Amino acid sequence: MKKTGAHLAVFALEQLGVKYTFGIPGVHNIELYDELHNSKSISPVLVTHEGGASFMALGVSCSSSSIGTLMIVPAAGTTHAMSGIGEAFLDGIPMLIISGGTRQDSGKHYQLHQLDQETLVKGITKAFFRITAHDQIINTIYKAYEIATSGEPGPVFIEIPMELQMFKGQVSSLPLYTPKKAAFSISDNKIKKIAAILLKAEKPSIYVGWGAAEAMEYTEKIAKILNAPVATTLQGKASFPAKNPLHTGFGFGPNSVPASQKAFKNSDAMLAVGVRFSEIATGSYGAVVPKNLIHIDINPEVFNKNYPALLSLEADATVALKLLYQELKQHKVSKNKDIVTLIAKEKQNYSSEWEEKINTNKVSPKHFFDALTTYTDDDTFFVVDDGKHTYLAAELLPVNKPKHFISPTDFNCMGFCVPASIGVKFMNPSHSVVGIVGDGGFLMTGMEILTATTYQQGVVYFVFHDGELGQISQFQKIPLKRKVASIIGAINIKGIADAVGASYYEIQNDQSIHTILKKVFDITNKNKPVIVDVAIDYSKKTMMTKGVVKTNLARFSLGEKIRFISRALKRHLLEK
């Protein structure tokens, strides 16, 4: 039979369960878009910028079983999308990038958009495929999907030249997709060794990341048996429920809340699952792990990179923890009995630090997040950006369901929140989706809310508006007393809301929080996006900020430490 390459590509995506593609049509993918119009199961979504498309695709992959898929033009479409592709690569999120390609049959050079895309994306993708014949298309897309979703997930790029899209070519069949399940061989002996280490420990602890999100059931059971405190990475904040009495919070080093620091103090064995011990998660590597570190991850390359493990295990988190639970459940542990009381006390004490009197001039973070929790539920998806608000949410926002907190992490890209929230909402139309973004991040991709308006996606965005790049300006102010290029120009957020067709509200102080939130969530139920301008009070520093400054300063040589401290004192005392 003869089929166009566009038909074959869309057929393959349908078999993979792709629900949406995100991108912008152009001369090099116009045939693909025309074929998408014929699809009964895939809807092409027009975005305002391919960077927004890649973040929307991330939102899809992070919050559903479908894979986020881009449909972009080569060259400019690719370079625009690379921020989201890079985020997917470093954060371990699956993504398919379908790009048009310049014609290979013309023999002409300097074509429009002609660029070596393989070299361009080599460092931020798991694999690249340039298709050269019709009979490669379906199986290549299937193979790309397998690569994107297996091991540590990530983005895979497929380039389909224009002549293959347009013209018909011979194919022997239209094969259906047969899922392949990775089989991990985990020895009983290794599981028994892990169990023995944890059972012998006086103060075992557990540290989980995004890779352990789907294993939450077994993490909870193991934590209960061991009476072990559980901390999470930033990306894995929703990998353990905040309502569990053994939950301590984000991180366990100097950058973490007191409940984590005290519960993990003197831990003599740690079970770390689905984590990489990266810079953000460890507060610039300030965290100290016990000698008896057990590290379980699907990607063996993460082992012993920053912290040496006594025992490492390459495995899917759910498979490994289920086996470990079965080994542990026959034991009763009577150690560390006071840990739940300690965690509860420290959480209450830290909460009290934030519960200041009602602020009539700005919005207090604790009052805001307490109110937000009142108007949302466990099914709500929370999406944040990169900035000071990220760590406020990490410390003050309770999340109880797996993958219901979505954050840019190791790539740490500003501009993530607005489009990623839209991708989440596309896949979860019956659930509330809340975006929390700083004004700096909002300025990068805020116009993408037009896509939410156009496709009737009722996301609510809380823009923490302080007129600065908050996290950086605070890092500048502490040692330097100067805010250099971190003050944002005055923005009319209502004007942006009007331009993109979103509803607009302001929260100017603590007294107005509840009134506005009630109105906001009534509107989002009507499938209309809402932008809420929040006059946030950033005066109180998060533990992340304090911990990272302290950790990095401690690493300086004595001479450099004296120089930095002297400079800071001089500027704070003498400069106006």
pLDDT tens digits, one per residue of 443-497: 999 999 999 999 999 999 999 998 677 677 766 677 777 777 777 888 999 999 9
CATH number at residue 369: 3.40.50.970
pTM of the model as a whole: 0.95
Q: Is residue 567 part of a domain?
A: no
Give the residue numbers spanning the domain of 499. Answer: 355-543
pLDDT given at position 470: 67
pLDDT given at position 576: 65
Integer CA distances (angstroms), 475 to 140, 155, 469, 479, 571, in order = 47, 33, 10, 7, 15
- Tell me which of 119-123, 177-181, 368-372 is least confident: 177-181
- Assess whether 127 and 217 both reside in one domain: no
Q: Is residue 555 part of a domain?
A: no
Tokens of 572: 């704070």
**Strand, coil or helix: 269:** strand
Q: Is residue 222 part of a domain?
A: yes
pLDDT given at position 342: 97
Number of domains in the chain: 3
- Tell me which of 40-54, 125-139, 291-305, 557-571 is least confident: 557-571
Q: Could you give the CA distance from residue 300 to residue 211 in angstroms, rounded to a whole number?
A: 13
Is the pLDDT at 165 greater than 70? The verdict is yes
Q: Which of 300, 323, 343 is the last residue of a domain?
A: 343
pLDDT tens digits, one per residue of 411-435: 989 999 999 999 999 999 999 999 9
CATH number at residue 270: 3.40.50.1220
Q: Could you give the CA distance from residue 332 to residue 478 in angstroms, rounded to a whole number?
A: 49
- Assess whether 193 and 162 both reside in one domain: no
Q: Could you give the CA distance from residue 270 to residue 121 in angstroms, rounded to a whole number?
A: 37
H or E stretch including 567? helix 558-574
Give the pLDDT band (50/70/90) at residue 371.
Answer: very high
Tokens of 219: 């993490």
Q: Could you give the CA distance from residue 13 to residue 43 in angstroms, rounded to a whole number?
A: 11
Integer CA distances (angstroms), 523 to 504, 527, 529, 530, 532, in order = 10, 7, 8, 7, 12
- Assess whether 98 and 212 both reside in one domain: no
Q: Could you give the CA distance from residue 99 to residue 78 in angstroms, rounded to a whole number?
A: 8
Which residue is listed with tokens 């965005």? 461
Q: Could you give the CA distance from residue 251 to residue 343 in angstroms, rounded to a whole number?
A: 14
Q: Could you give the CA distance from residue 380 to residue 400 in angstroms, rounded to a whole number?
A: 10
- Assess whether 142 and 221 both reside in one domain: no
- Assess whether 300 and 436 both reside in one domain: no
- Assess whether 444 and 468 both reside in one domain: yes
Integer CA distances (angstroms), 36 to 191, 329, 422, 568, in order = 48, 51, 20, 59
Contact 244, 340 (CB under 8 A): no
Q: Which of 112, 144, 170 is the last residue of a domain?
A: 170
Instruction: Report the side by side order of strands in the sheet with 204-208.
Output: 247-250, 230-232, 204-208, 269-273, 293-297, 311-314
Cα dihedral 211, 217, 221, 226 in deg (nearest 10): 20
Q: Which residues of 543-561 are buried (b: 16+ CB within 10 A; e: fewer)?
A: bbbebbbebbeeeeeeeee
For 433-566, where are the E strands, in sequence order? 433-438, 460-464, 503-507, 530-534
- Assess whether 452 and 399 both reside in one domain: yes
Q: Is residue 175 part of a domain?
A: no
Mean pLDDT computed over every residue of the chain: 94
Cα dihedral 93, 96, 102, 106 in deg (nearest 10): 130
Q: Which of 343, 376, 402 is the last residue of a domain?
A: 343
- Assess whether 274 and 371 both reside in one domain: no
Q: Could you give the CA distance from residue 140 to residue 12 in angstroms, rounded to a whole number?
A: 9
Q: Could you give the CA distance from residue 365 to residue 200 in angstroms, rounded to a whole number?
A: 42
- Assess whether 129 and 219 both reside in one domain: no
Which amino acid makes up residue 150? S
- Assess whether 102 and 57 both reside in one domain: yes
- Assess whether 34 and 122 both reside in one domain: yes
- Assess whether 446 and 519 both reside in one domain: yes
Instruction: Report the side by side order of strands in the sheet with 503-507.
Output: 405-406, 381-384, 433-438, 460-464, 530-534, 503-507
Tokens of 338: 């006071």
